[in-house]
């Protein structure tokens, strides 16, 4: 490329950044990470739509009966995921009738903006306006039935017990399911990283750390200036556990131009830790997810206009437990509810 062409491209990029750079206004003095750890149970349920998955973490109640909670509604129409809404706050069950008050302190939104230009996207946002929800939560044997709010209702089961039912019809299914389960945690994390998916990701030229809801943390960083042909976003997971019983480690890297076209690479290792109904820990399932197609550039996750459009997640369960190539742009197969035999 000639110097003149490089200058023209840099000018065009700067113009694009200036004219459509930052989505909505940020909040003044907004903390990036406000996650309160939830030491307790992780529950999972089907959503109202076949592509929706609901995850509910409820911590240990304090003497007043108030427990920290985190809830996510995740739409996984394709394996790459589409949108995430997360609530954080306190969960208070009153009396024996199951009446429960949720005091929501933070609401996150990672919307499906696949139809918009990368530079006009909002990405993940958080509002700290507090409000309350009232639901009925009924605990039966191995289940938590939530009713009274269309957005949260469902028949939830403990995730760590459901992991023991991981679909193992074929080794390939087991590996594909392992990816889908691990992906629940990574999608939830992306749904809490402010600016993720939009131009405000530039914020992370100064790296930032987010806590895992259960354990560990992630560090997100961004490199590359306005005149760079490639900018790099790295999410480095360290003992990251955002849903109980599912831990990921390693770096997920995206190289793309300012138009959001590029590819992903990096390898995450995962550990799924099932627990039997009697509380006995099961045999952990460990393995890896390779975003870079195992070095095969025809298979790495391809990003066009900010959307994953091709390539596969190469999944391998350690100890010969099975391998799979999960297409990023195709619907999950098997889906998480099928993998975990959710009611």
Partner 1 sequence: MNPLLLAIALAALTPVDSAAPGPADAPPASPSVDDSPAATARIPIPEGVGPASPGGDVRQPDLSQAGIDHHGWRHALALGPHSTTFFSREGSQYTFYSASLGYLGSVGARGAFLHAFLLMPLQARQDGHVYATGDYYRTRSGADLMAGPEWRFSFRGAEAEVGPGVHATFVYLPAKQGFADFSAMPLGLGATTVLSWETRAERLSRAVTVGTYAGLAYDFWDPMHAGDLAHGFTFRIGAIVGLGERR
Q: How far is the C-alpha of 287 from the C-alpha of 173, rounded, in Å?
A: 14
Using CB under 8 A as the binding rule, whether residue 195 contacts partner 1 is answered as: yes
**Pick 122 or 234: Cβ nearer partner 1:** 122
By CB under 8 A, is residue 26 in contact with partner 1? yes
Q: Is 20 in the site for partner 1 (CB under 8 A)?
A: yes
Q: What phi and psi, each to the nearest 5 degrees, are found at residue 58?
A: -125, 125
13 binds partner 1 (CB under 8 A): no
Report strand pairing: 99-110 vs 83-94: antiparallel
Residues numbered 220 to 239 that lie near partner 1 (CB under 8 A) are none
Query: Which of residues 208, 211, 309, 329 is near partner 1 by CB under 8 A?
Result: 208
Q: Which two tokens stand for residue 171?
A: 């080794």
The reply on whether position 28 binds partner 1 by CB under 8 A is yes
Q: Could you say which of 7, 8, 11, 24 contacts partner 1 (CB under 8 A)?
A: 24
Minimum CB distance to partner 1, residue 27 (Å): 6
Distance in Å, CB of 12 to partner 1, minimum: 15
8 Å CB contact between 309 and 317: no
Which of 80, 70, 13 shows the shortest CA–CA distance to 44?
Answer: 70
Give the one residue of 13, 23, 177, 340 binding partner 1; rule: CB under 8 A: 23
What single string gives the DSSP state of each residue in 282-294?
---EEEEEETTGG
Q: Is 18 in the site for partner 1 (CB under 8 A)?
A: yes
Stretch that binds partner 1, among 46-54, 74-82, 197-205, 319-327 (CB under 8 A): 197-205
Quick check: 112 binds partner 1 (CB under 8 A)?
no
Q: Is 337 in the site for partner 1 (CB under 8 A)?
A: no
Q: Which of residues 29-88 bind partner 1 (CB under 8 A)?
A: 29-33
Q: How far apart are CA 129 and CA 288, in angstroms?
A: 39
Stretch that binds partner 1, among 103-111, 134-142, 193-201, 262-270 (CB under 8 A): 193-201
Q: Which long-range contacts (CB under 8 A, 24 or more apart) does 251-254 make?
A: 252/186, 252/291, 253/291, 254/303
Residue 61, preceding peptide bond in cis (omega within 30° of 0): no
Alpha-carbon span 184 to 173, nearest angstrom: 17
Interface positions with partner 1 (CB under 8 A): 18-33, 120, 194-195, 200, 202-203, 206, 208
């Amino acid at each position: 490329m000639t110097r003149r062409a490089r200058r023209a491209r840099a000018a065009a990029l700067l113009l694009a950044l200036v004219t459509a750079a930052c989505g909505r206004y940020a909040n003044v003095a907004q903390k990036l990470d406000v996650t309160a750890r939830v030491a307790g149970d992780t529950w999972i349920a089907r959503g109202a739509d076949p592509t929706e998955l609901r995850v509910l973490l409820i911590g240990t109640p304090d003497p007043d009966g108030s427990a920290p909670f985190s809830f996510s509604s995740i739409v996984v129409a394709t394996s790459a995921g589409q949108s995430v809404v997360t609530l954080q706050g306190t969960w208070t069950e009153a009396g024996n009738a199951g009446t429960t008050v949720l005091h929501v302190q933070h609401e996150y939104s990672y919307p499906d903006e696949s139809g918009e230009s990368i530079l006009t996207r909002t990405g993940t946002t958080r509002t700290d306006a507090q409000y309350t929800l009232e639901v009925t939560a009924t605990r039966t044997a191995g289940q938590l039935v939530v009713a009274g709010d269309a957005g949260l209702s469902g028949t939830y089961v403990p995730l760590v017990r459901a992991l023991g039912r991981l679909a193992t019809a074929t080794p390939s299914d087991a590996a594909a399911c392992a990816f889908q389960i691990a992906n629940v945690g990574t999608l939830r994390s992306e749904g809490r990283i402010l600016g993720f998916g939009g131009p405000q990701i530039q914020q992370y030229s100064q790296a930032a750390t987010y806590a895992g809801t259960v354990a560990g943390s992630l560090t997100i960083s961004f490199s590359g200036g306005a005149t760079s042909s490639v900018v790099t976003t790295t999410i480095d997971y360290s003992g990251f556990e955002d849903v109980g019983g599912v831990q990921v480690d390693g770096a997920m890297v995206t190289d793309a131009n300012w138009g959001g076209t590029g590819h992903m690479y990096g390898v995450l290792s995962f550990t799924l830790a099932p627990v039997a109904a009697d509380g006995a820990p099961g045999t952990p399932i460990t393995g890896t997810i390779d975003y870079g197609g195992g070095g095969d550039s025809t298979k790495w996750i391809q990003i066009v206009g900010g959307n994953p459009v091709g390539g596969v997640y190469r999944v391998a369960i350690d100890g010969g437990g099975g391998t799979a190539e999960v297409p990023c742009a195709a619907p999950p197969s098997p889906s998480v509810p099928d993998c975990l035999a959710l009611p």
